[in-house]
Chain A
Amino acid sequence: MPSMYHQVVIVGGGLAALRAAIEAKDAGLDVAVFTRVHPVRSHSVAAQGGVNGALANAESARDDTIEKHAFDTVKGSDFLADQPAAITMTADAPRRIIEMEHWGCPFSRTGEGKIAQRPFGGAGYPRTCYAADKTGHALLHTMYEQTVKRDIKVYEEWSVLSLVVENGVCRGVIALDLRDGDIHPVGADAVIFGTGGTGRVYGRSTNSIIVTGAGMAIAYRAGVPLKDLEFIQFHPTSLFGNNVLITEAARGEGGYLRNANGDRFMEKYAPKAMELGPRDIVARSIQTEINEGRGFPGGYVHLDLTHLGAQKILERLPAIRDISINFVGVDPIEKPIPIQPGQHYTMGGIDTDVNGATALKGFYAAGECACVSVHGANRLGGNSLLETIVFGQRAGANASQYVKGNGRGRPGEELLRERLHEVRGRWERLRAADGPEDPAAIRDEMKATMIEKVGIFRDAEKMTDALQTVKRLQERYKKVHVNYRGRRFNLDLLRTFELGMKLDLAEIIARGALDRKESRGSHARTDYKERDDANWLKHTMAHYTPDGPRFDYKPVEITKWQPEARRY
């Protein structure tokens, strides 16, 4: 029997992946989606606050423009974003958002019946389009509906383990069917990754447990460079206790941050923007209050919504009210929510151009797993959902064009068998592994090390220590055991396999961060406090070698706005 084959193989089930699938299907190609969870379970569903686009729908936003949106994005990025990419994203924003509305997305509405927009951090105008505080859910369900309408084939609970590369061209993937434990080669003319970020390399993450970074690690192992991975976003407000996200919209709607003395401390750090400063600045401000003893015992501050009134909270922020009541027993209508910063987003990722193309022919990436770069050193809230729908579409269109012009058809069986043999060998060796090391202990130590030592505030000593720990964990990982050797739905084995990939990424993050001797956006060093444009206005590129990552750098595209001091 010949191996499986589709012209375009999409990996991932979130917004970027599905948007790419739709584009390729509409181009008339044979498309299949391979996803570790059912598409509507993907992490896009958890996005809350909204999606940015200069629609100028709000009364106070009549003179908003795509150029202003691009400038806010670039300034928010601490000037590390590639400016043409930021302009591309903001220029595509209105049409992509309108398209989602035409496809049925249940956006909240203005009095005139237009898509409602709210203020968000680091933005000059209210330009964040929302569906209450469940915007990711509204968008992802709408996007999935469109894939059903188009009858796009979905392989559910399939986890891609490797790319198939032949003479510098991507020719498919090797994928695990989690339900029966079989591993299959899947031929393709083009592969598009929309596999999400690396959040769960860190402790205290707001991310879904499935956000493992596997897609990035697979691309890296196949020789595709990863860019700017040291830039990790810490969201200012995650719930104290389990770090579930409490949306920025809570502050966009007027919420206050208060320390244990009851002070609105943001006036010290961002006197104009206050609580609506960009995320890197607000997260650092909160952490400073906690570190200097003005937080509450255990390490948190208050997000106070009590002055907003019940009606506004029930209408605009119902989901975070539920989260707060359910997980910490606090009704934000009556009492402030205990919050602390938590790992939230991976600005870096698979190096792509504005069309999702990578250094590997036939291989594309979009969404959080990719780094175009539009977020630079710090992403603005509301720009990640935007990135998924803009670059998902662009990657889908570009890959389709590539397939039509250069598609090579079904790859040779010998190639697929060879790659299958290699990946299955690795998998089977792990399945039989009976070393002394416990994968859960390695995972816990990696997460704790990354949040403590490559977290919000960094210095050479902590990061050197973190890097040594990660290398030690990599050595221990070689002597790991698995607890279950069955084939069907073997979570233990899959999670242990993914742990090896997480450790690759942890090393790249720690090394890139240690080498970057400046502070920029989310990368805040106490031993190099200033931004250093003369030496570090450049992208970090990590390349796979068998002995660990090799680093070099790539210039930032600065075409319109010269770097300036960031004041908010």
Chain B
Amino acid sequence: MSITDTKPQLEGAKTVTVNIFRYDPATTDKPHYDSWQVPIIGSMTVLDLLFHLLEHEDGSLAFRYACREAICGSCALYVNGSYRLACKTQLKDLKAPEINISPLPHLKVIKDLVVDMDPFWEKYERIKPYLITRDEPPEKEFLQDPAARLKMDDMVDCILCGACYSGCPTVWTDPDYLGPAALVKMNRFTVDTRDQGNKERTKLFDNEHGVWRCHTIFNCVEACPKDINQTYSIQHLKRRAVARRFGGK
């Protein structure tokens, strides 16, 4: 495919039917799916497929992309009923006669597979997503025990792709709910030994649109393409909130 510089060997390749969600709110067209028969070539990914269609079939197709290696978080989509990064999903691994590709559900569509992520970012910003320190920092780095660093490990892997947020039933019903990604970010700072912002952070997650809204449905964990355990982080914040109410720190 064009992005991997391997010319497609179309003849004799196995083909599959691909149905892609199409919608441009600026036009009068209703949301619908367009279908194509496409060859499955080698390790072709969903992102390769989208570029193939953009360049050779339909220049109007809109989707997001950047790194094509599962680290930038641009291309989270809903493919055959699962949340997936387009760039790391190979067509042959879907093992399905038809492939259905939709934008992240429950977010406003800007065009085709591009959704409005503003509510997601607004919540990210709301939780003060940065290290808070009060004391003058040391001349050199803060010392941090490797074991303490390890506690942040899966939380700092988040690529902010929005899959967990899109998949969370509480987000669907409470538009003010912070959602899994923001709460993971919150917990990442809560467990960071360098951070001194717990007091102001607690107010941000210990409220009616905060951690208590999580009903441990685990959709976020299932949706996450980076294998992050969002529910663990949320439960950790709940324990912290309870401890605080009983006079802990």
CA distance A488 to B4 in the complex (A): 27
- Chain B residue contacts of A138, Cβ below 8 A: 156
Q: Please state if B149 and A483 are interface contacts (CB–CB under 8 Å).
A: no
Report how far A145 CA is from B186 CA in the complex, Å.
12
A38 near B117 (CB under 8 angstroms)?
yes
Assess whether B58 is in contact with A244, with CB atoms less than 8 Å apart: no
A242 contact set on B, CB distance < 8 A: 4, 43, 68
Closest-CB distance, B155 to chain A (whole angstroms): 9
CB contact list, B77-114 vs A, under 8 A? 88, 110-112, 114
Collect the chain B residues with CB atoms within 8 Å of residue A131's CB: 156
Chain B: number of interface residues, binned into ranges: 35 or more
Cα distance A411–B59 in the bound complex, in angstroms = 37
* Known contacts A37-B64, A323-B69, A447-B5; A98/B141 CB under 8 A: yes
- Whether B54 lies near A491 (C-beta < 8 A) is yes
The verdict on A106 contacting B5 (CB below 8 Å), with A134-B71, A210-B66, A482-B59 known, is no
Binds B, one of A112-120, A359-367, A398-406: A112-120
Within the complex, what minimum Cβ distance (angstroms) separates A39 from chain B? 10
Contact present for B69 and A46 (CB under 8 Å): yes
Q: Given A46-B67, A134-B71, A210-B66 in contact, is the A111-B59 Cβ separation under 8 Å? A: no
B160 CB within 8 Å of chain A:
yes
Stretch at the interface among A184-192, A201-209, A250-258, A415-423: A201-209
Cβ B192 vs Cβ A322 within 8 A: no
Are A148 and B60 closer than 8 Å at their CB atoms? no
A149 close to chain B: CB less than 8 A? yes
Q: Which residue on A lies nearest to B227, using beta carbons?
A: A322
A440 at the interface (CB under 8 A from B): yes
Nearest B-chain residue to A444, judged by Cβ: B2
User: Measured between alpha carbons, how far is A19 from B160 in the docked complex, in Å?
Assistant: 20
* Interface status of B62 (Cβ within 8 A of chain A): yes
Known A115-B141, A204-B5; judge A134-B157 contact (CB<8 A): yes
On whether A483 and B58 interact (CB within 8 A), knowing A41-B67, A488-B26, the answer reads yes
Contacts of A145 in B (CB 8 A): 129-131
Check A491 against B4 for contact (C-beta < 8 Å): no
Check: A245 CB closer than 8 A to any chain B CB: yes
- Judge if B208 is at the interface, Cβ distance under 8 Å: no
Say yes or no: is B133 at the interface (Cβ < 8 Å to chain A). yes
Q: Is B200 part of the contact surface with A, judged by Cβ < 8 Å?
A: no
**Is B74 engaged at the interface, CB distance under 8 Å to the other chain?**
yes
A392 nearest CB across to chain B (Å): 18
Contacts of A40 in B (CB 8 A): 72-73, 159-160
**Is B195 an interface residue when CB atoms closer than 8 A count as contact?**
yes
Q: Note all chain B residues with C-beta closer than 8 A to A45.
A: 67, 71-72, 159
Q: Are A241 and B43 in contact (CB under 8 A)?
A: yes
Q: Flag whether A434 is at the interface (Cβ < 8 A).
A: no
State the CA gap A134–B159 with chains docked (Å): 11
Least CB distance from B235 to A in Å reads: 21
Identify the closest chain A residue to B59 (Cβ): A483
Flag if B149 contacts A484 (CB, 8 Å).
no
Looking at the complex, which one of A103, A109, A492 makes contact with B54 (CB distance below 8 Å)? Answer: A492
Are A440 and B2 in touch, CB under 8 angstroms? yes
Given contacts A104-B194, A327-B43, A492-B54, is CB(A245)–CB(B69) below 8 Å? Answer: yes
Say whether B56 contacts A440, CB under 8 Å.
Answer: yes
Determine whether the beta carbon of B66 is less than 8 Å from that of A37: yes
- Measured CB to CB, the closest approach of chain A to B234, in angstroms, equals 20
CB distance from B191 to the nearest CB of A (A): 11
Contact A104 B70 (CB under 8 A): no
Q: Contacts A106-B149, A203-B5: A46 and B72 contacting too (C-beta < 8 A)?
A: yes
Q: How far is the CA of A253 from the CA of B148 in the complex (A)?
A: 22
- Are B56's CB and A102's CB within 8 A? no
Per-residue CB contact flags for chain A residues 26-58 toward chain B (1 = under 8 Å, else 0) read: 000000000001101111011000000001000
Q: Does B13 contact A (CB under 8 A)?
A: no
User: Per a CB cutoff under 8 Å, which of B26, B55, B71, B141 touches A114?
Assistant: B141
Interface residues of B in 123-146 (CB under 8 A from A): 124-125, 128-131, 133, 137, 140-146
Asked if A113 and B68 sit within 8 Å, CB to CB, the answer is no
Q: Does B61 contact A (CB under 8 A)?
A: yes
Residues of B within 8 A of A38 (CB): 74, 117, 121
Which B residues from 163 to 178 make CB contacts under 8 A with A? none
Which chain B residues border A208 with CB–CB below 8 Å?
Answer: 66-68, 72
Chain A interface bracket (under 10, 10 to 19, 20 to 34, 35 or more): 35 or more
Best-buried of B56, B72, B112 by chain A (most CB within 10 Å) = B72
> Which B residues lie within 8 Å of A113 (CB)?
143-146
Are A149 and B60 within 8 A (Cβ)? no
A65 CB-CB contact with B under 8 Å: no
Compute how far the CA of A488 lies from the CA of B23 in the bound complex, rounded to whole angstroms: 11
**Among residues 161 to 186 in chain A, which have CB atoms less than 8 Å away from a CB atom of chain B?**
179
Which of chain B's residues have a CB closer than 8 A to the CB of A443? 2
* A370 → chain B closest CB, angstroms: 21
Judge if B218 is at the interface, Cβ distance under 8 Å: no
Return A451 CB to nearest CB of chain B, in Å: 8
Q: Which residue of A lies closest to B145 (CB)?
A: A113
Q: Closest A-chain residue to B116, C-beta based?
A: A179
A244 and chain B: residue at smallest CB distance: B69
A271-322 contacts to B, CB under 8 A, are 319, 322
CB nearest neighbor in A for B56: A440
B212 part of interface (Cβ distance < 8 Å): no
State whether B149 touches A109 (Cβ < 8 A).
Answer: yes
Q: For B143, what are the chain A residues with a Cβ–Cβ distance below 8 Å?
A: 112-114
Determine if A137 is an interface residue (Cβ-Cβ < 8 Å).
Answer: yes
From A42, A104, A489, B114 is in contact (CB under 8 Å) with: A489
CB-based contact A41/B73 at 8 Å: yes
Contacts of B141 in A (CB 8 A): 98, 101-102, 107, 114-115
**Which residues of chain A are within 8 angstroms of B73 by Cβ–Cβ distance?**
40-41
Contact of B149 among A108, A112, A448 (CB under 8 A): A108
Instruction: Verify if A562 is at the interface (C-beta below 8 Å from B).
Output: no
Within 8 A of B (CB), among A474-517: 482-484, 486, 488-492
Distance in angstroms between the alpha carbons of A319 and B59 in the assembled complex: 34
For the complex, is A326 an interface residue (Cβ under 8 Å from B)?
yes
Known: A46-B72, A322-B70. A440 touches B130 (CB 8 A): no
| B189, CB-defined interface residue at 8 Å | yes
Query: Judging by beta carbons under 8 Å apart, are A103 and B131 in contact?
Result: yes
Q: Given that A482-B59, A489-B111 are contacting pairs, would A146 and B133 also be in contact in the complex, using a CB cutoff of 8 Å?
A: no
Q: Which residues of B contact A98 (CB under 8 A)?
A: 140-141
Contact status A109-B146, CB under 8 Å:
yes
**B interface, CB within 8 angstroms of A:** 2-5, 7, 24, 26, 42-43, 54-56, 58-74, 88, 110-112, 114, 117, 121, 124-125, 128-131, 133, 137, 140-146, 149, 152, 156-157, 159-160, 189, 192, 194-195
Beyond A327-B43, A484-B59, 16 extra complex contacts between A and B, CB < 8 Å? A38-B117, A41-B74, A43-B66, A43-B72, A45-B72, A104-B194, A106-B192, A107-B149, A114-B141, A114-B143, A179-B110, A179-B111, A208-B66, A209-B65, A241-B43, A484-B58
Can you give 11 contacting A-B residue pairs, CB < 8 Å?
Answer: A43-B67, A45-B72, A106-B192, A113-B144, A145-B131, A204-B5, A323-B70, A326-B88, A440-B2, A483-B60, A488-B111
Closest 7 CB pairs of A and B: A483-B59, A104-B131, A484-B59, A492-B59, A113-B143, A440-B55, A145-B130
